[in-house]
Amino acid sequence: MTRLTNCILNKDPSCVPVWFMRQAGRYLPEFRKIRSKNKDFIKLCLNSNLSSTITLQPLKRFNLDAAIIFSDILMVPFALGQKVQFTKDKGPILSLFNLQYFLNNNVNNFIENLRPVYESIKTTRTNLDKEKSLISFVGAPWTLIVYMFGLKKNKNEIDLNKLKKSESEIKIVLNKINEYLCIHINKQIQAGADTVQIFDSWAGLIPDKKLFDYCYEPNSKIVDYCKKNKVPVICFPRGINKNYLDFAKVVKPDCLSLDYEIDPEWAIKKLSNYCLQGGLDPKILFKKEDIIFQEIDKYLNIFKGQPYIFNLGHGLLPETNPEVLKKVIERVNNFK
């Protein structure tokens, strides 16, 4: 058992594991070098050797407790036949969703389309220190649907009319996509991953009255599947604020990842039954060193005696200085 899985499953508060969302990526010059020669992001994710190399890059630089496989939540809609294009400054754009085409998918084709991801995990596990965890991940059904149906109006808003119009299709897709996500999790674990994180990145855009249908219940089905298969599972329902409490009660994940809008004092009072992860605003890492250390110490002291994984309340930003990150990791690892 690794430090990370021990913290999640055994709720061991004696050490604070540390890793970062988007730790393999744009802030590292060695990643940017690979990316400059590989313009097609999907193809890069499907290049097993390069994907594994990128996954391991931060582990070569920093004393982290886990690697997270270099991939993307949108590999699932891609494997189900939807075209996915990543454009600079605009984010991902998906081709028009076709329900009939989606329903005509079969499991074997889906697995075959994602085989390079599983190969990358195998290679990574072989080259990763046995004491380090290897995290696999999926996007939660709602977050995938936001992209698949093109529901976003802007960064902070979804098109409620479009949502209402697509409601009957969305219900069908929610159930079906859950099946494929569980298959994808199973294959990643078989390949050598030991932990799963579910990213519900757009949970905060769900109208309150729809939270159970679109967030709690779909996440709960995946968590149940993971628990049944004895796979440690972390949930990240970003942006739902104090609904984190209801989410935790319904979904019952092994670990809850906090976004940076969650007050850590509130979290320790209300969510102390759970292993907790993250919370620090990624932009703090752009401040002066004494302010950065002050914020880190605040989180470490609040969660002292609680099973806690140090992470951020969102992914590392491209402007992050790797040297600053190194000092952050040292600070966490030296915390008593």
Q: What is the pTM of this model?
A: 0.97
pLDDT in tens, the chain (336 residues): 999 999 999 999 999 999 999 999 999 999 999 999 999 999 999 999 999 999 999 999 999 999 999 999 999 999 999 999 988 777 799 999 999 999 999 999 999 999 999 999 999 999 999 999 999 999 999 999 999 999 998 878 999 999 999 999 999 999 999 999 999 999 999 999 999 999 999 999 999 999 999 999 999 999 999 999 999 999 999 999 999 999 999 999 999 999 999 999 999 999 999 999 999 999 999 999 999 999 999 999 999 999 999 999 999 999 999 999 999 999 999 997
CA distance 124 to 71: 13
Annotated catalytic residues are: 22, 26, 35, 72, 147
Rg for the chain, CA atoms, rounded: 19
Q: Closest by alpha carbon to 216, among 261, 174, 184?
A: 174
Domains and their CATH numbers in the chain:
3-333 (3.20.20.210)
CA distance 240 to 63: 32
Region of residue 22 (phi > 0: left; psi between -120 and 50: alpha; otherwise: beta)? left
Q: Render 236-291 in DSSP notation, one character per residue.
A: E-TT-GGGHHHHHHHH--SEEEEPTTS-HHHHHHHSTTSEEEE-B-GGGGGS-HHH
Would you state the torsion angle of the CA atoms of residues 74, 257, 187, 130, taken in this order, to the nearest 10 degrees? 130
Per DSSP, the three-state class of 126 is helix
